[in-house]
Amino acid sequence: MSLGLLDGPRHRRLHRLPFGELEHESAGVNHLAFLVRLERRGEDLYPQLDAAVREGRIPADDLVRAELFKRLGYYPTESSEHHAEYNPWFIPKGQVERFNIPIGEYLTRVARNLDEFAETKRMLAAGEPFEIEQSGEYAAVIINSVVTGELSRIVGNVPNRGVLIPNLAADACVEVPCLVDAFGPRPVAPGPLPPQLAAYIHPAIDAQGLTVRAVIEHDRDAIYHAVMQDPQVQARLTLDQTWQMTDDLISAEAAWLPAWLDGTAPA
């Protein structure tokens, strides 16, 4: 992996900088986190990244993140298609083609993963050899550190407890750097986020909190309250349409929902 954005005559020395040479720190919540620090050997790389964005040297699949960086001053960590799902400025405003947002990409990815899973099962059953590669997931890294005591660094989702990111909800689950050793993951507090980032993240946390409340208290109203906080919903639907859509979704998923939500799933 490399930081290919930092290219061109003005920044030739940073062309395709290996990812391992980057020093970075991110903070936020899952799918809504930002690089709050980006350095190489103590040198701040944000000015070069800013120049690359301003000059249009951006991969075609990263236009949403680049646009958010221009407006918020910090680069998002999650993919452009994910960020387009969490705010009202792109998909509902007819910006899909301009920002090259791959609508339905997740469904394609799921289909590909299912095909790979089926092929792996077939090869196992047939006794055929196949190559095992470490994925980008953290499970193996965490297990290795816990078993061997070898220190590793990951980005983890952990309880905020009001101290890791003080200007996000105290009971939120936040995404922050974590050190892992024989005692397991230990979060590193990044401190408060810049206020514009915290404001951008708050609606997602509110919707998550209302959803959790609905499940714990069997409160159907809280589900509607959660849906109505979604920026995409707010940008496209009236309140009547929001309630109707939520009813339709609940009906469509009845086989997997509990009885208190008019579902038919076993208790």
Give the mean model confidence (pLDDT) for residues 17-29: 87
Radius of gyration of the chain (CA): 21
Give the mean model confidence (pLDDT) for residues 148-169: 95
pLDDT value at position 19?
Answer: 74
Give the DSSP letter string of 203-244.
Answer: HHHHHHHHHHHHHHHT-HHHHHHHHHT-HHHHHH--HHHHHH
pTM: 0.85
pLDDT value at position 16?
Answer: 64
Q: Which residues pair with 102 in a beta bridge?
A: none
Q: What is the pLDDT of residues 133-144, one digit of tens each?
A: 887 889 999 999
d(CA 237, CA 240): 8
Q: Which two tokens stand for residue 240?
A: 């009547």
Segments making up each domain of the chain, as ranges: 2-85, 139-187, 195-252
Q: What is the pLDDT of residues 206-228, one digit of tens each?
A: 999 999 999 999 999 999 999 99
Q: Specify the residue for token string 């003005």.
A: 10
pLDDT value at position 141?
Answer: 93
Q: Among 60, 108, 97, 62, which residue's Cα sits nearest to residue 82? A: 62
